[in-house]
Amino acid sequence: MNPDTAELAIPDTASELAAPLGIPASGPQAMGFVRRRWSLLRADPARMAAVSDSWRALWSSRLLIWLAGVGTLVAFGFGPVRNAFNPPGVTRGFGWLGDLLAAPAARWDAAWYLVIAHYGYRPDLGSFTSSRTAFFPLYPLGLHVIASSGVPPVLAGVLLSLAALSLSLYGIHRLTTLELTLPGPSGIPRPQGREVARLAVLVTAFAPMAFYFSAVYSESLYLALSVGLFWCARKGRWAAVGALGALAAATRSAGVVLLLPALILYLYGPREDRAPDFPPSRFSRRRYRPRADILWLAMVPAGLGLYLAYLGSSGGEGLMPFHAQDVWGRHFAGPYLGVWDGIRAAFEGARQLLSFQRHHLYFPSAGGSPFIDAGHNLMLLVFLLAAVPAVVGVLRKLPLAYGVYVLCALALPLSYPVTPQPLMSLPRFLVVLFPLSMWLAMWLTAHPRAQRPALVVSALSMAFFTAQFATWHWVA
């Protein structure tokens, strides 16, 4: 029995994840609500600017992605699958046109989300399906709800990802504008706030790994939830912060770290809901006295807790998601010690490439082709080195909570390396860390001559990685 499709041997019953969500609302009521919201939106220039800039970045970046992916397939074919999880009817088998259009969206981990959305986790099958638990439930749950209305599953995933990306870009624009309209550590004058926000949206939409935002992956959903949490925390809407944090923790394991920046924003600000109880002094920051609404933050880890409780009550083990990481070779090396492993792997990878031979392995832990693994490890180190000045910039230019969030989020992949590729998936972890895009937008605003070259190089890199992804080459 194939461990990834074990449930095919049993009757296909309704998924135990959840039933479709229905929102009772009549047509006229819904249309009236939309018209009222649109009127309010048009009356606010800042919101209209966010909508306009986000929409242009959204459609232009997604058009480039599909042109790059589909064009590469037309020119060179689908490429080798390399033993990837590629079951028929999940990421292929849609006819020649369907397979072509699905290629930039349904590859690698997308198959896991699609299988989970259709069959559920089935923890009662033990080791046959335990690998699925590494993929957290909110994204496949949303995919299941959309697909249950008759939408093809791959299209349902693309629609979910695009909707989340739209909200993400809009939220990044609004959050960047908010941070630059108040006196703070950014040091950028208020008139440049709109330009920084526009660039932050472009940097996010055209990032080298931004094709994941419209693929059947959870990146765009997690990005939307994390941006929304920061926005609500800045506005002092703590019930919404708790709810968004719980949803983020149910989207990916890193979501639980959002509790720390939320707590910092609560205690130290900046906040717009009330003045600080203890104004800043020469020796201390401004502080806010804890009130009853701080208890809403306890909801953030609830998303993770409910997922683990579901697995434990459905015939599995509550800690299955963490044990499942062993399948991909992740292990704890110590706080941030994965950085050293990544540097060593990249150094040995350079020696492998320069040797022009495959007989001697300079990095014995690598599997598969030594040249391919060497190239991957070098690329991953480049992403890490490029992130270093951005992380420093966030710590210097943005409020404390943003820098703490970035450091905590990076602690997970940099402390749990993968044996063959210690920095595996680091580019995907970086692309959802929106404070890095905000800082880069600030830097580009201060260096206008670098704006066009930076965006062009980033867009071309995105097109290149999209072409690799669509042709079943491992990217991140």
d(CA 231, CA 253): 21
> What is the C-alpha to C-alpha distance for residues 427 and 9, in angstroms, rounded to an integer?
37
10-residue mean pLDDT series, the chain (476 residues): 41 36 53 72 80 95 96 84 63 78 90 91 82 93 94 94 97 93 50 85 98 96 98 96 97 94 94 84 78 95 93 84 79 91 92 84 75 90 96 95 96 90 93 97 94 97 95 85
pLDDT of residue 27: 59
Residue 186: exposure state from Cβ atoms within 10 A (0-12, 13-18, ≥19): buried
First to last CA, the chain: 29
Task: Report domain extents, the chain.
Answer: 44-470
Instruction: Copy the structure tokens of residue 314.
Output: 């459905």
Q: What is the pLDDT of residue 125?
A: 82
* CB burial readout 431-470, b (16+ within 10 A) else e: bbbbbbbbbbbbbbbeeeeebeebbeebbeebbebbbbbb
- Separation of alpha carbons 256 and 278, rounded Å: 29
Can you tell me the distance from the alpha carbon of 251 to that of 143, in angstroms, rounded to the nearest whole number? 12
- The pLDDT of residue 315 is 82
Residues 6+ apart with CB under 8 A from 250: 136, 137, 138, 303, 304, 306, 307
CB 254 within 8 A of CB 325: no
Q: Which amino acid is at 433?
A: L
Q: Is the peptide bond before 321 cis (omega within 30 degrees of 0)?
A: no
The two structure tokens encoding residue 259: 């509790």
Residues 372, 86: Cα–Cα separation, whole Å: 21
Q: What is the pLDDT of residue 7?
A: 44
Total-model pTM: 0.89
